[in-house]
Structure 1
């Protein structure tokens, strides 16, 4: 079998392992009764269920939206489409025991944004095919976040992408929340493909966890509405190509990557931007899609096969490599950990795409094994 298609099978197996406990229990309206509470800080139970749903769906949405492929994968995908829509119903229905918190505290801004991002990435499966009743509930829940003020940081993008989703749904939306987020991030650009998280530079993975993926999808969705936003889009892409290239070089020959900055419990969610640029077919010309797949697969294997990553019921546990509860910040909970699903974005590419063809060493593997590799150049 083509090694790329073997990798795809492996990725789908890992998606199943990560996603099924969340979506199967939520679709059955038993998530709150079932999901274990974990995390080193204060009780995060008011937030962790929306965290799990929003982050997980955001990562698997392009795959849910994909059409065609091998029959076995199509059957598997259709199962998860139904689970995803039933989960959205359970999480937004006020009568559901799994009705989620969209308005108390500030954290709901974050995870309502991930849910909004999921809808933008799979508008047919996660919006058009929802029952009207569920659509109305989703809109009500997203609008409930309007009572919260985002922090002066990457959080501005959370408020912005919620408005983008409301626009996409045909609802009333606030262009100022979008405009402010885009303009502030332009002010916070530091150079060479990196934005500050707020006015200051933070040496972490938030350019990939949040900032650049949301800038890309906001500008893509709102194209043609305001000339000022349209003019930003090519710049966002150029910078994203550069930072995605940096991320690709961070993958060691063994599939490890540097434990830098906060939120390391999101594991390979750190590679969201690299995965997204592969999905968009907008990698730097010096990077072949297959080498990104091989690198990400190595990271996935290195991460998923460490004992302690899951508990005995299949739920993710706090850690960067296995179970490491001490590396979780006060805002980390079981639900937070599902941002790791962002690595699955390229599953939205058909199995015939070049990403899934052949085999190619990634940059660090070439470098450390004495092979030729491209010179790294700043923007």
Structure 2
């Protein structure tokens, strides 16, 4: 099944019964990735001009710096994790690049690094370089000529005062500051470094929303940046600084987060496909390793390695690395649907963060314990996460994890935030899919979805979650209940005019998966769309239900059963739940002016599970 060119050790199914992989496999992959990028370095090795994708909006010089910085981070994990052993000479080539790139930064030379300015991409790459230098300090930095160190400090110092975007970027000056403060530089540089650390950590503090979750900025942006940025940088800084108070503060948050985070990986090793920057792929494993590294994790060592090795193997077995050993811009193989405007040819190499685990010594239990199954493999589970507004649904029979999104929102990166469902086996249809957008409900205006507002969470509980949004000036209340692989999807149109057409779409599933919608209340027609492209397939099928609002309150309610499953012969969807509806009495509303606070009551009884009673109004959802 392997689709990569790397030579790997034999599998060890006694130690790793789920993946067969060990620490030696991680080391071999790291070496293979580093050998593969070497031919694309410039003569002085300051820039890596990688092929295989469109340039980013920052220009080729910045893209070349990105290639240097992100692969240097990989080399740092590899060498630091081996106690400084470097038989392939990786640090020698990155030391040479540091020398060449800082001779006349921003100048006209062929390898001069661009200057770090406000909200510029070099600020991001400076953080990777500083972290790599800090990890490898005894074997690289401390052996450099003084003049090279001085030039590198001058270039990095601009990161201490550069303005960051109001998101995880605030942590890049923190990371640079951590290195510069540690090097013992005296005077203004040290003071500026310490100020940058304090300022950045202060700025992210209001974004900690509790229960282990950060938003990536002031809005409701929840995705993998929680793990590979918002937790990673503060915890690593506290750990490297030997600051017990900071490690307790940030490490304890990480430990709480990992209890939820472990549920985001499917039985096949796949991380959940949601959020932006998904081309970083196995960087999703970084917080798993970080918890083990710092002793801040609720996960058994064998679970940590099973999830991390499962994710790395998942991508390598599915073509993430091409014949030349290079990571592509995409998910499995190349796929532009997961890219953002800042994505360049070297962007995928933030996957280097996955190799944080190499910092753990070979004798650590995370490497020596027998692999244990992850949460999605153990038992069916439905878990409400009120802080991000998610309902996680996993089934052990097929290992599929589904996320019902009723809280995470970032319209700039639609469709990776704005759909109501994501999973480990499906991806969203593209942003230009129009009415073919998967996992969406809303009114249609002239045959297209009405523009919608941000999500407003309305509540979550045992087996259910709810939210509201406006679409084309009409308020929509949405509720999802889940049990096993089945879902009940409820949508209440609060103030729509009679005769408004509505549309519901399901999961965009490829071969080997069943994606279904079954009408229960309000829908008048069903069908499906096929031949759609996602990160998983070029021939996805999306089920569709349609209907129209009517005069009475009950005619503004739309209910369906839904299912996404990889099981071969699932029972009929219609047999999995019974639904009973009680709409507001005639005296509480009339056709012209329905009372938005009159409650709609719905009872859902799962055939092999519990009974749920819901009370739905325009502003709240309650479960009895």
Category of TM-score, reference length = shorter chain: 0.7 to 0.9
Task: Note if 1:261 corresponds to 2:263.
Answer: no
Distance change in 2, residues 1:27/1:361 (3 Å): farther
What is the rounded CA distance, in whole Å, between the counterparts of 1:168 and 1:68 in structure 2?
19
Distance change in 2, residues 1:348/1:233 (3 Å): closer
Aligned positions of 1:85-96 closer than 5 A: 85-94=95-104
In the TM superposition, residue 165 of structure 1 has moved relative to its aligned partner by 1.3
What is the rounded CA distance, in whole Å, between the counterparts of 1:314 and 1:92 in structure 2?
29
- Paired residue for 2:293? 279
User: Partner of 2:326: helix, strand, or coil?
Assistant: coil
User: Partner of 1:159: helix, strand, or coil?
Assistant: helix
- Paired residue for 2:164? 150
- Paired residue for 1:245? 259
User: Partner of 1:47: helix, strand, or coil?
Assistant: helix
- Paired residue for 1:79? 89
In the TM superposition, residue 267 of structure 1 has moved relative to its aligned partner by 0.7
Indicate the structure whose relative CO is greater, using CA pairs within 8 Å and at least 6 residues apart: 1
Using structure 2 for the length normalisation, give the TM-score.
0.53
| Conserved? CA contact 2:277–2:339, under 8 Å | yes
In the TM superposition, residue 354 of structure 1 has moved relative to its aligned partner by 1.0
| Of 349, 358, 377, the match for 1:347 | 358
Greater per-residue strand proportion: 2
In the TM superposition, residue 344 of structure 1 has moved relative to its aligned partner by 0.8
Distance change in 2, residues 1:56/1:280 (3 Å): farther
| Conserved? CA contact 2:285–2:311, under 8 Å | no
What is the rounded CA distance, in whole Å, between the counterparts of 2:303 and 2:279 in structure 1?
25
Distance change in 2, residues 1:161/1:31 (3 Å): closer
Q: Please say which of residues 103-112 and 153-162 is displaced more in the overlay.
A: 103-112
User: Partner of 2:234: helix, strand, or coil?
Assistant: helix
| Conserved? CA contact 2:102–2:152, under 8 Å | yes
In the TM superposition, residue 37 of structure 1 has moved relative to its aligned partner by 6.4
> Any idea what the Cα deviations from partners look like across 1:98-133, whole Å, max 9, x if unmatched?
332233571111110111122223322342233333
Alpha-carbon RMSD: 2.9
What is the rounded CA distance, in whole Å, between the counterparts of 2:176 and 2:335 in structure 1?
33
Task: Note if 1:213 corresponds to 2:232.
Answer: yes
What is the rounded CA distance, in whole Å, between the counterparts of 2:81 and 2:45 in structure 1?
28
| Conserved? CA contact 2:216–2:222, under 8 Å | no
Is there any run of 5+ residues in structure 1 with no aligned partner, and where? 225-229, 371-375
In the TM superposition, residue 221 of structure 1 has moved relative to its aligned partner by 4.4
| Of 100, 103, 121, the match for 2:116 | 103
Is there any run of 5+ residues in structure 2 with no aligned partner, and where? 1-11, 380-394, 398-461, 463-624
What is the rounded CA distance, in whole Å, between the counterparts of 2:228 and 2:63 in structure 1?
17
- Paired residue for 1:14? 29
In the TM superposition, residue 33 of structure 1 has moved relative to its aligned partner by 7.4
| Conserved? CA contact 1:196–1:202, under 8 Å | yes
User: Partner of 1:125: helix, strand, or coil?
Assistant: coil
| Of 122, 125, 135, the match for 2:136 | 122
What is the rounded CA distance, in whole Å, between the counterparts of 2:297 and 2:25 in structure 1?
23
In the TM superposition, residue 53 of structure 1 has moved relative to its aligned partner by 2.4
The alignment of Structure 1 onto Structure 2 pairs a total of residues equal to 358
Aligned positions of 1:1-379 closer than 5 A: 3=15, 6-23=21-38, 25-26=40-41, 28-29=43-44, 32=47, 34-36=49-51, 38-39=53-54, 42=57, 44-67=59-82, 74=85, 76=87, 79-94=89-104, 97-103=110-116, 106-146=120-160, 148-171=162-185, 172-173=189-190, 174=192, 175-222=194-241, 231-284=245-298, 287-307=299-319, 309-357=320-368, 358-367=370-379, 368-369=395-396
In the TM superposition, residue 24 of structure 1 has moved relative to its aligned partner by 5.7
TM superposition outliers: structure 1 runs of 4+ over 4 Å: 30-34, 221-224
| Conserved? CA contact 2:71–2:349, under 8 Å | yes
Distance change in 2, residues 1:28/1:277 (3 Å): farther
User: Partner of 1:204: helix, strand, or coil?
Assistant: coil
| Conserved? CA contact 1:102–1:112, under 8 Å | no
Distance change in 2, residues 1:60/1:275 (3 Å): farther
Distance change in 2, residues 1:60/1:238 (3 Å): farther
What is the rounded CA distance, in whole Å, between the counterparts of 1:341 and 1:33 in structure 2?
15
Greater per-residue helix proportion: 1
User: Partner of 2:209: helix, strand, or coil?
Assistant: strand
Distance change in 2, residues 1:255/1:261 (3 Å): same
Distance change in 2, residues 1:164/1:199 (3 Å): same
> Any idea what the Cα deviations from partners look like across 1:226-274, whole Å, max 9, x if unmatched?
xxxx644412111111223322221111111211111111111122222
Distance change in 2, residues 1:68/1:199 (3 Å): closer
What is the rounded CA distance, in whole Å, between the counterparts of 2:48 and 2:55 in structure 1?
20
What is the rounded CA distance, in whole Å, between the counterparts of 1:83 and 1:24 in structure 2?
12
What is the rounded CA distance, in whole Å, between the counterparts of 1:244 and 1:361 in structure 2?
15
